[in-house]
Amino acid sequence: MDSNNELTYKQSVSKRHKAMGIGLGILSCLGGAFFLYITLGVSRASHWSIGLIPLYPALLFLLLGVGMFRNKQVSYTSVKRITKEGFYHYFLVPEQEKETEQLILYKKMTALYLGRVVEMVMRQDRLTKFFAHPLLVFRWEEDGVSHYRGVVLKQKEWPTALRHLPAGLPVYSTPYDLTQYPDDTLGDPLADAEYYRDSGERFPYPYELGYVKQKELPKYIPDEVAEKKKRCTRLREMMAGRLLGGWLVLNFLLAVLWMPSWKVVDELFVGPWPVVLIILTMILVGAVYARLPLGWRNMLLVGRHMLFVIAVYGGGGYLGYLLFSETPRHLDAVVNHSLLSFWSIPAAFLLSKFLYLLGVLMYAALLHSGFFKGKTKPRRNIDME
């Protein structure tokens, strides 16, 4: 805020942000290379199937690192200012030699909108929290087309912004979280905004600001997008169910026809293939579990898969014992292999959640540092026009 009480906001992607992104990309690739080294070492020392365990985090780190290098940020400087005359916006992209400067007078504006953007606050001593900031959006018409410009305020700056706003403009409010909407896409989430009051007098902000619960910030999802998302979710669940079901049927046949030929030592199957089957099963169910939230419904799903697995190996192994083997040690090995497979399912669930959480935390750290949007404070995406 300057001396004449104008509200000025500046944001940019600097060389420091680019260097930070490159550094984190290098660290991610080094982490992936480290896990690949472990994979190769374990595979050579024992068997390649054991090396599949550290292969998953290796791929996670490598994909994240490659994604950082492919994310080609463009240096820019954006200045937004609320004055007594109107809303000023300056935008500069040096690499593209693009520079725009615009002053939107209040007399040209047709409406004001109030919303919220959210900053994710990461703390060492507690869980991540969400901090809501006020978002003031200006609308005006040009050649019959509505245009929008938004500016994120600090909570204490709202009274100052009110003093600059002209009287007589309709003010609308929306409960949606507008953090991810650039100016040129604000028309969609603001289409259903409700009339709040006219400007020209002091009034409280219509929504809670500061620390809020994430569930109190609804996301705007167009009907067609929501329907497409539901279809994709149903298709993904159906494909995952069929893939896992087919894998279990295959394992049942292997337990009946192939397991009786496995070597048994100390009431355990020895050799690579028992381990390979367990690891592949863990990978399949882990891929299903990775994006599932922690809830009773999903805990029941894990329990159901545990019962399926022990039924497949126990039932198939016992049937194979009756048909093709009469060695008591084989039956003992079937029981032990079934129990190992049984407990591998919750282990796969916990491992998948840990790796998924690790990826989310790495992404959140990058987002919080301003890598993806070039920001150190909460700002919406900048339109490149």
More reliable by pLDDT, 51 or 139: 139
Check residue 113 and give its pLDDT: 92
Check pLDDT > 80 for residue 107: yes
Question: Among candidates 66, 146, 76, 157, which has minimal Cα distance to 111?
Answer: 146
* Spatial distance between the Cα atoms of 260 and 323, rounded to a whole number of angstroms: 9
Q: Which of 16-20, 212-216, 257-261 has the lowest mean pLDDT?
A: 16-20
Check residue 182 and give its pLDDT: 82
CA atoms within 13 A on the CB side of 353: 13
* Spatial distance between the Cα atoms of 57 and 64, rounded to a whole number of angstroms: 11
CA atoms within 13 A on the CB side of 338: 19
Question: Among candidates 213, 140, 128, which has minimal Cα distance to 177?
Answer: 213
More reliable by pLDDT, 244 or 296: 244
Give the mean pLDDT of 244-250. 90
Percentage of residues of the chain with pLDDT beyond 70:
82
Check residue 266 and give its pLDDT: 84
Question: Among candidates 318, 324, 331, 322, which has minimal Cα distance to 268?
Answer: 331
Check residue 383 and give its pLDDT: 37
Check residue 123 and give its pLDDT: 58
Cβ proximity of 116 and 134 under 8 Å: yes
Check residue 122 and give its pLDDT: 62
**Could you give the residue ranges of the DSSP H alpha helices within the chain?**
15-45, 52-70, 158-164, 187-190, 223-257, 272-289, 296-324, 328-369
pLDDT one-digit tens code per residue, 32-50:
888 888 888 877 777 666 6
| pLDDT band at 101; cut points 50, 70, 90 | confident
* Spatial distance between the Cα atoms of 108 and 249, rounded to a whole number of angstroms: 68
How open is the CA angle 195-196-198, to the nearest 5 degrees? 100
Question: Among candidates 4, 380, 379, which has minimal Cα distance to 163?
Answer: 4
pLDDT one-digit tens code per residue, 305-352:
899 999 999 999 999 988 887 777 888 899 999 999 999 988 888 888
Spell out the domain ranges in the chain: 7-73, 84-219, 224-368
pLDDT one-digit tens code per residue, 360-382:
766 665 555 555 544 333 344 33
Check residue 244 and give its pLDDT: 86
Check residue 375 and give its pLDDT: 38
Most confident of 99-103, 214-218, 264-268, 342-346: 342-346
Cβ proximity of 146 and 187 under 8 Å: yes
